[in-house]
Chains A and B, each alone.
Chain A
Amino acid sequence: MKSIINRLFIVFTVFLLIVLTFFLWLFRYSTDNIQQNKIHSTNLQLEHAGYILDSEIKEAELNALSVLSDRLTINFTNHFNNDKQSYKYLKSFQDLRDMLSTQVKNSKGIESMTIYWPKQNETVSSYDILFDTLDFYGSTPNNG
């Protein structure tokens, strides 16, 4: 009777070990599987984000090209040597700024557009408050 119980115990233990091993394998397998799936889907998401970014960059580049070759931009640059207090200069600035604002309004991914002429230190922007820039807020306080 005792040996039967011992045998049954051994069979049960072996069976239990097999079941546990199976569960362990199943756990590892499903974890790996989930991990792989997540990596795969994250990669896809990153790829998609990259694609969106690329298309936004291309849109910005196209916009920039069209702005730079626009009649209003050329008209404005023609005023660089003229009197900056004149109404004509003012009007060409205003027209260019309005054009930039319209471009921004029609674009999904562009928040603002600014043209900067370094030699003349001239800036025209669709953004109202150039004042509110990092340069303005970036100064360091006395306490470091």
Chain B
Amino acid sequence: MKNKYLTILLLSTSFLLSSCHKNSEDHKNFKNEPLVITSGKQSDENYNRYATGEDVNNNPMIQLGINELGIRVKYTMLGTNYFDYIDKIRLALTGAEELPDVIPVYDRQFLGEIIQSGKVKILNQDMIQFMPQRLKNIYKKKQETFDPLIINGDVYGLPIAPALGETQIMIIRQDWLDKFNLKAPTNIDEFETVIQAFSEQDPDGNGKRDTYGFSYSGDGIYSTGWVGDPVMLFSAYTGKYIPGNWEEQGDGKLSYGSLHVGNQQALTKMAAWHQKGWLQPNAGIAKDWNALEEFRYGKSGIYVGRAWSIENSKDILDVDPKAKLGVYPTILQNDGQPTFQRAEENDGWFLFNKDFENMEAFFEYYDWLYDLAFGTGNFKYGYLENSDYDIVNGKLVFNPMEFETITTNKGFDPSKASISKNRIYIDQMKAYYRIQEGLKPQNYLEYKARDMQSWLPERVAGGAIAYNHQNELITDKFRGSLPLELVDTWNRLYDMEHDFYTRVIYGEVSPTTFPDFVKQWYQQGGTQITDYVNQCYQASMEGNDER
């Protein structure tokens, strides 16, 4: 009897223990299981750069998020390019596919479209409740970047990394300039002289006429805003009224820059240059990067772009080891005023699936990325050792060619694996300016800039020029997006504009038909759009934004 009781007691204890053990295991597993945040990504920019067995969802940056925060970012919607990516989002909006938790968007028109779909989360409460103070301070200084995200007082997303993008500079083959005893152009006439010499006087000395002065992208509106930009040629005649931007015309109303009468002069010049073979022959179909590519292959003598592009265009040294790069501000207008270019105030927008419930975790991850900009946490020298930087024999190095273990000159880029797509900065240009001025480095970018002075000084000098010319960046004064009923009209006008500009440059249409183009633009729906844009502008000026 005694034994019977003993057995029952033992069995009960073992059940109790086993059940306790099971509960404890479950809890442990749950706690150890990283919180998954799904996201969209326009393209995998680390393609070809992963180590064996790694991919977009399994790489050192994703692992770092898991190790340090217990957050796994998982890209469930991956495009091959931006247009492919937004096609996928559009499909998901119909319910055919699942929308990810985080939806990064990079153009304002699509931003409006997705907000109007009603499938996007309103962030008012989450921002108050969960946003870390550091992020609040950053956004407080750049409140205007929220404009396209606010409808009737509701906030539908977050601007990504609000900070002024770098001013574009002119990158020139300095060795070609020196060969012909020329100085870097400062106005349109000098620019003409230089591109003529670069095209007609055989700067590469191969006995063939296979070079030209200037490469640019003409595949869209003639203002790219970041690389391969021809906008300075237009701004030389139009000032602040640059193609693609809405600008105040003096009576409190906005007008569309592409319609400014000065563009006719710019197009006349470009058509003449194109006919003489002084411009990139296929510029009309060249994407932004293609302009850089032409420079890198030693075909073009000048391109305009942000100074970071030098990290790619320096590869001209593989083609011509004697090549030298010169960095200069963009040309001036004939009256000595600067030419202007499109400003980028943030790197796209984060939108969130309306069913997403982990905003606190998202904010934690996003704030963590900001350690890089502040030189805090584990990101003082970069996101990852041996990717952003390396310590070789006790020395901090940023040149991938000097890393101990890297095997190509373009290794895995942790920033491209992060949810923000690019590195996050507070004032990128200032970092180069500070280092150029000999000040002590304080964060990743400044440490890198200091190191770069020994192996890519043009990049640092270019960044400092960009800082000194940041007043040449002008923002689009229309910050909203068009309603769906005007989107088709706008797309038609966009195509019409691109087609007209390209036809003029390629000699198909005379520049003198510019007034007809403007008239047609208004007749085909431009008047309605201008009215709408001005209504929004007036409303935002009066603080009565009803978009």
Q: A residues within 8 Å of B by Cβ?
A: 84-87, 90, 93-94, 97, 101, 104-105, 111-112, 127-134, 136-143
Decide: B277 and A127 in contact? CB cutoff 8 A.
no
Interface contact A141-B47, CB-CB below 8 Å: no
A105 and B87 contact, CB distance less than 8 A:
yes
- Given known A85-B277, A87-B507, A90-B502, contact A129–B289 (CB-CB < 8 A): yes
Whether A141 contacts B401 in the complex (CB less than 8 A), given A105-B84, A128-B287, comes out as yes
Residues of B within 8 A of A133 (CB): 48
Contact B408 A138 (CB under 8 A): yes
Q: Interface residue tally of chain B, by bracket?
A: 35 or more
Residues of chain A contacted by B315 (CB below 8 angstroms): 136
The total number of A-B Cβ pairs within 8 Å is 74
Contacting residue for A129 out of B277, B287, B502, B507, CB 8 A: B287
B81 touches A141 (CB 8 A): no
B393-420 residues with Cβ-Cβ distance < 8 A to A are 400-404, 406-410
Docked Cα-Cα span, A133 to B289, in Å, equals: 13
Check B503 against A87 for contact (C-beta < 8 Å).
yes
Bound together, the chains give a CA A46 to CA B102 distance in angstroms of 34
* Interface presence of B293 (CB below 8 A): yes
* Residue numbers in B under 8 Å from A132 (CB-CB): 45, 47-48, 289
30 A-B residue pairings within 8 Å (CB atoms): A84-B281, A85-B277, A85-B506, A87-B506, A87-B507, A87-B508, A90-B285, A93-B285, A94-B285, A97-B285, A101-B83, A105-B84, A111-B80, A112-B80, A127-B80, A128-B289, A129-B287, A129-B289, A132-B45, A132-B47, A132-B48, A133-B48, A134-B48, A136-B410, A137-B409, A138-B408, A139-B409, A140-B408, A141-B401, A143-B403
Q: Which of A90, A111, A142 contacts B401 (CB 8 A)?
A: A142
In the assembled complex, the Cα of A84 lies from the Cα of B293 at a distance in Å of: 18
Considering the chains assembled together, what is the distance between the CA atoms of A143 and B407 in angstroms? 8
Interface residues, chain B, with chain A CB atoms under 8 Å away: 45, 47-49, 80-81, 83-84, 87, 274-275, 277, 281-282, 284-285, 287, 289-290, 292-293, 315, 318, 400-404, 406-410, 502-503, 506-508
How distant is the Cα of A104 from the Cα of B506 in the complex, in angstroms? 29
Given pairs A93-B282, A133-B48, 8 additional interface contacts (CB within 8 A): A90-B282, A128-B81, A129-B81, A129-B289, A130-B293, A131-B290, A137-B410, A139-B318
The distance from the CB of B222 to the nearest CB of chain A, in whole angstroms, is: 15
Query: A84 CA to B277 CA in the complex, in Å?
Result: 11
Q: Is the CB of A85 within 8 A of B48?
A: no
Write out the residue numbers on chain B whose beta carbons fall within 8 Å of the beta carbon of A84. 281-282
Main secondary structure of the interface of A (DSSP, over half): loop
Chain B residues touching A, majority SS: loop
Residues of B within 8 A of A139 (CB): 318, 408-409
- The residue of chain A having its C-beta at the shortest distance from the C-beta of B506 within the complex is A87
CA distance A87 to B284 in the complex (A): 9
Q: Would you give the shortest CB distance from A115 to chain B, in whole angstroms?
A: 14
Min CB gap B250→A, angstroms: 36
Residues from chain B with a CB closer than 8 A to the CB of A131 are 289-290, 292-293
Give every chain B residue within 8 A of A128 (Cβ-Cβ): 81, 287, 289
Taking the closest CB of chain A, its distance from the CB of B526, in whole angstroms, is 24
Question: Considering only CB atoms, which chain B residue lies closest to A126 in the complex?
Answer: B80
Query: Chain A residues near B290 (CB, 8 Å)?
Result: 131
Query: Closest Cβ of chain B: how far from A118's Cβ, in Å?
Result: 18
Contacts of B402 in A (CB 8 A): 143
Which chain B residues lie closer than 8 Å to A130 at the CB level?
293
Residues of A within 8 A of B507 (CB): 87
Contacts of B274 in A (CB 8 A): 85
Q: In the complex, A127 Cα to B81 Cα: how many Å? A: 8
In the bound complex, residues from chain A placing their C-beta under 8 Å from that of B277 are 85
A129–B219 alpha-carbon span in the complex (Å): 13
Task: Give which listed residue, A85, A93, A94, A141, contacts B409 with CB less than 8 A.
Answer: A141
Among A86, A105, A131, max chain B CB count under 10 A is at A131
Cα-based distance from A131 to B403 in the complex (angstroms)? 24
State the 9 A-B residue pairs at the shortest beta-carbon distance, nearest first: A87-B506, A137-B410, A87-B508, A141-B401, A85-B281, A90-B284, A131-B293, A128-B81, A131-B289
Q: Tell me the minimal C-beta distance from A122 to chain B in angstroms.
A: 11
- Give the CA-CA distance A134 to B409 in the complex, in Å: 11
